[in-house]
A and B are shown apart, each in its own frame.
Chain A
Amino acid sequence: MTTSTDIRTQPAWRYLLDIRLRLWRRNLADFWAELRKHPVALIAGVVILIYILAALFAPQITAHDPERGSLRQRLIPPAWEEGGSWTYPLGTDGQGRDIYTRILFGARVSLAVGLLSVGISVIIGLALGAAAGYYRGRLDSILSRFADLLMAFPFLIFAIGVMAFMGPGFTNLILALTFKGWVEFFRLARGEVMAEKTREYVEAARVSGQSHTRIMLSEITPNIMQSIFVLATLRMGFMIVTEASLSFLGLGIQPPTPAWGSMVADGRNTLLNAWWVSTIPGLAIVFLVLAINLFGEGLRDILDPRLKIE
């Protein structure tokens, strides 16, 4: 990136881009400095990173097949237990599949579901919330009533209902989670836009003749992204637990594809003689969700202390 900012030798767009990039870099440096003051959030961030890398490189990390096992290798205990072996560090399940391998591949499902469901919810919630908060009027009252209506369903019940009617599978799972997932982002974006709209910079942009769409996109949205980002992180853990719960019930990801929730469910049949089959995949969920929640909490302290009202 060039650091020259001589306005006479550069076209205007280049100059603006340069300023943007520098601002970005400074913000990032500030953020990093702040994050270092929150050691718990930093460690949580590292844990999340490890999960992401494990998911991405699962085929390189392990030599076993996540979906096929050998019946002769059924219910081998973890390596540290009597009868365990380092070939299967976390033991095998009732079908002789390596639990460690299935956890690595299961991370793909959990992270993909978390990212996609929250990502889509953010896009829908932000777009509708910004429009409702900016234009108000009938659009706002219709959208707000609809959001209130969806709030009348407990989240998991709604997701279970949707999965029941649409059938299991990855796409339906994402749909089930986003059908109601956008509401929180809608409410946040709507409130934030309503507050931002009265600020001077929006007035200024309006006076300078910018269109409403432009004001929303390039003036207001960047200013509310921090709180949206914080909420998104905190919702991610929730979505992952919800996916695991659906898969546990058999309504989410279908076997033989490894998903942590269904792995815990599989282990229930062998709970009496093989505790590890259920317990260990559950720990994978707990660690990831705990890390995401702690990271989100740290982010909130750094980016948006106002949100700290529980």
Chain B
Amino acid sequence: MRLVKVIERLLAAIPIMLGVAVIVFVFMRMTPGDPVDIMMGQGGTVSEGEVERLRSEFNLDKPIHVQLGLFLSDLARGDLGNSFTKQQPVASLIGERLPATIELAFGSLFIGLLIAFPIGILSAVKQNSLLDRLSMGAAFLGISMPSFWLGIILILIFSVKLHWLPVQGRIDYDAGLQTVTGLYMLDSILTGNGPALISSLKHLILPSIALGSAVAAIVARVLRSSLLEILRSDYVKLARAKGAGETTVVMKHAVRNALIPTVTVVGLQVGVLLGGNMIVETVFSWPGLGRLVVEAIFNRDFPLVQGAVMVYAFIFVAANLVVDVLYTYLNPKIEM
């Protein structure tokens, strides 16, 4: 039964993905000048015949609905076109950069949750205490702080002043890491390269904090408020009345149930992580998808921008799908 529901949700995501692709296509068409004009603007001298050839290569000589159809069918085959500036398929360029972005996203999520859980739980248990007030104040600050600024402050303190952590990049040049998955920390473990593991971990810390702090702030607030509600509920009172210890009550009865709304919020935070990664990758010169896109925008490399925006949206839809499924598994009340 559950499997059927999961498949149903998967199918429901297809029209959304299709719509995403159409929106991106429409935006691309709204851009002043067609791609060939833009390529010419890059400074190349191209003959009239060459222009015609390029126009037909990009299908620009066909009616707009045919162009959309071709675009979608290419997309379905995983063909995102070729980059203007790098003369390579967009899909492979994105594929190369994706592991770095995924590693950063996981690092940020890990740090975000690592901060959020103890703070959220403690603030709820000790409601209105000094600790509660301070941490909720900090959460407000976390939500109000732009990640690029936090990144710069972290660099100033931990790299420039204290020299504890590196300013930029993913790993030291002399780490000698053999890449397997492209996720450097995982690769270091897989190849048993200790120094590379330490180096990649050191590089990952600051960007993950810069990106993860907003997640931490939001998740801590949601966890606290849902815990507060649950701690006042009858079944928690019952558990207490039956003589369960406070730790058991909180950890076993309350937190488990508070996870349900929290997971939903974490899913929405994936969007924040994806958007924020463009910014944080720029601040820390992290060689991921975000930086690739920012560079592509300045080079007016539209196929690359368009492909990346679509990949971002797809990841976001997929992440929320995962959350949806997780949610139904966490909540026994929902018969999927």
Q: Which A residues are closer than 8 A to B by beta carbons?
A: 145, 148-150, 152-158, 160-167, 237, 241, 244-245, 248-251, 261, 264-265, 267-268, 271-272, 275, 278-279, 282, 285-286, 289-290, 293-294, 297, 308-310
Contacts and interface: CB of A to CB of B under 8 A. Distances in A.
A290 B297 contact: no
Contact of A310 (B141, B265, B282, B297): B265
Contact of A264 (B149, B222, B278): B149
A248 B279 contact: yes
Contacts of B225: 308-310
Nearest to B24: A161
Given A157-B312, A161-B305, A251-B297, A289 B144 contact: yes
Contacts of B16: 148-149, 152
Nearest to A150: B23
Contacts of A278: 149, 152
B316 A153 contact: yes
B141 A164 contact: no
Contacts of A163: 297
A166 B302 CA distance: 11
B279 A249 contact: yes
Interface string B251-284: 0000000000100010000111011101100110
B156 A310 contact: no
B279 A245 contact: yes
24 contacts: A148-B16, A149-B19, A150-B23, A152-B19, A154-B271, A156-B278, A157-B274, A157-B275, A158-B309, A161-B305, A161-B306, A164-B302, A249-B282, A267-B152, A268-B152, A272-B160, A282-B149, A282-B153, A285-B149, A290-B141, A294-B140, A308-B225, A310-B221, A310-B261
A290 B272 contact: no
A285 B271 CA distance: 22
B305 A164 contact: yes
Contacts of A261: 146, 148
Contact of B275 (A145, A154, A272): A154
B298 to A, nearest CB: 7
Contacts of B309: 153, 157-158, 160-161
Contacts of B313: 152-154, 157
B31 A157 contact: no
A14 to B, nearest CB: 46
Interface string B220-238: 0110010000000000000
Interface string B133-163: 0000000110111111100110110001000
B293 interface: yes
B23 A149 contact: yes
A166 B317 contact: no
Q: 6 closest Cβ contacts across the A-B interface?
A: A156-B275, A282-B149, A154-B271, A290-B144, A289-B144, A149-B19
Given A149-B19, A248-B146, A249-B282, 9 more contacts: A148-B16, A152-B316, A154-B316, A156-B276, A161-B305, A264-B148, A271-B155, A308-B225, A310-B265
Contacts of B152: 264, 267-268, 271, 278-279, 282
B27 interface: yes
Given A154-B312, A293-B140, A166 B30 contact: yes
A167 B27 CA distance: 12
B293 A160 contact: yes
A257 to B, nearest CB: 19
B28 interface: yes
Contacts of B149: 264, 278-279, 282, 285-286
A264 B312 CA distance: 26
Residue of B140, B152, B294, B298 with most partner-chain A CB within 10 A: B152
B186 interface: no
B60 interface: no
A105 B240 CA distance: 58
Contacts of B272: 154, 156
B258 to A, nearest CB: 12
A154 B274 contact: yes
B111 to A, nearest CB: 19
A309 B264 CA distance: 13
B175 interface: no
Interface string B100-125: 00000000000000000000000000
Contacts of A279: 149, 152-153, 156
Contacts of A264: 146, 148-149, 152
Interface in B13-57: 16-17, 19-20, 23-24, 27-28, 30-32
Interface in B205-230: 218, 221-222, 225
Contacts of B276: 156
Contact of A164 (B156, B221, B274, B297): B297
A248 B210 CA distance: 15
Contacts of B274: 154, 157
B116 to A, nearest CB: 13
Nearest to B224: A310
A282 B146 contact: yes
Residue of B270, B302, B309 with most partner-chain A CB within 10 A: B309
Contacts of A241: 144, 146
